[in-house]
């Protein structure tokens, strides 16, 4: 499970890495984004997806925690921050988005927690690539509308078996999409679950190749803390 991540890169780097229209670097939401060291569930986050008649890439702010279109209320979102890649194609909460509404969630790194054998408190670890460039988590997004209320757009992160760098700490990892698969992952014409599953297998095999890890302060446990000290080695 991934319950916290980091996005430090400036707008121009995000635009370049995700091949977004250059003008987006100077426009909301990217222009308003400030470095975040402790992004937490239910918070608004920039997300890359395709939109419009020409399926152009765009960047919009969505809330972390997917609310299925059929949900009676928004509270379910806080429980759907992750989706298992192995079963998302068949789960009612995710299967429609799996086939039709995939996205990339820009990030600079993420946290996972280990559980010591002696039963002491869990230890947070920070994982990041050996490059300073942002990367993209595999995500699914949804739009929820009920009873004339303001529509809410939300997303979830797909997870898989832990990458080698993560495995000593936790059994699962958020899946990272290699840049050469961005176009395929966002392709709205890809609706075949088998084709989507193939991309996720590639993400599982290659997405975590360059991850580095270090234990960090338990201050990250609280969403109230958000500063560079959170990613410093403990």
Is 232 among the catalytic positions?
Answer: no
Joined together, the tokens standing for residue 114 give 């280990």
H/E element, 40: none
3-state secondary structure 80-129: CCEEECCCCCCCCCCHHHHHHCEEEEEECEEEEEECCCCCCCCEEEEEEE
Return d(Cα 212, Cα 198) in angstroms, integer: 26
Is 2 among the catalytic positions?
Answer: yes
Distances 86 to 38, 48, 103, 172 between C-alpha atoms, Å: 27, 23, 17, 12
Q: Is omega for the bond preceding 29 within 30 degrees of 0, making it cis?
A: yes
Active-site option among 2, 103, 142, 153:
2
Active-site option among 59, 103, 112, 142:
112
H/E element, 141: strand 135-144
**Which amino acids are annotated catalytic?**
2, 112
């Amino acid at each position: 499970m991934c319950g916290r991540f980091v996005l430090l890169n400036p707008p121009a780097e995000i635009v370049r890495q995700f091949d977004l229209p250059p003008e987006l670097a100077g426009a909301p939401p990217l222009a308003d984004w400030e470095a975040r060291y402790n992004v937490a569930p239910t918070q608004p986050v920039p997300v890359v997806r395709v939109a419009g008649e020409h399926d152009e890439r765009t960047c919009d702010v969505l809330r972390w925690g997917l609310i299925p279109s059929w949900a009676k209320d928004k509270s379910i979102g806080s429980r759907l921050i992750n989706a298992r890649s192995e079963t998302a194609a068949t789960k009612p909460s995710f299967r429609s988005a799996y086939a039709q509404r995939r996205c990339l969630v820009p990030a600079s790194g993420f946290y996972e927690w280990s559980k010591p054998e002696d039963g002491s408190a869990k230890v947070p670890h920070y994982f990041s690539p050996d490059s300073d460039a942002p990367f993209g988590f595999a995500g699914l997004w949804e739009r929820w509308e009920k009873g004339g209320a303001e529509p809410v757009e939300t997303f979830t992160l797909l997870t898989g078996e832990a990458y080698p760098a993560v495995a000593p700490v936790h059994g699962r990892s958020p899946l990272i999409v290699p840049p050469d698969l961005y176009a395929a992952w966002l392709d709205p014409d890809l609706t075949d679950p088998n084709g989507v599953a193939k991309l996720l297998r590639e993400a599982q095999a290659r997405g975590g190749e360059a991850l580095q890890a270090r234990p960090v302060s338990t201050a990250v446990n609280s969403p109230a803390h958000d500063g560079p000290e959170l990613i410093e080695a403990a």
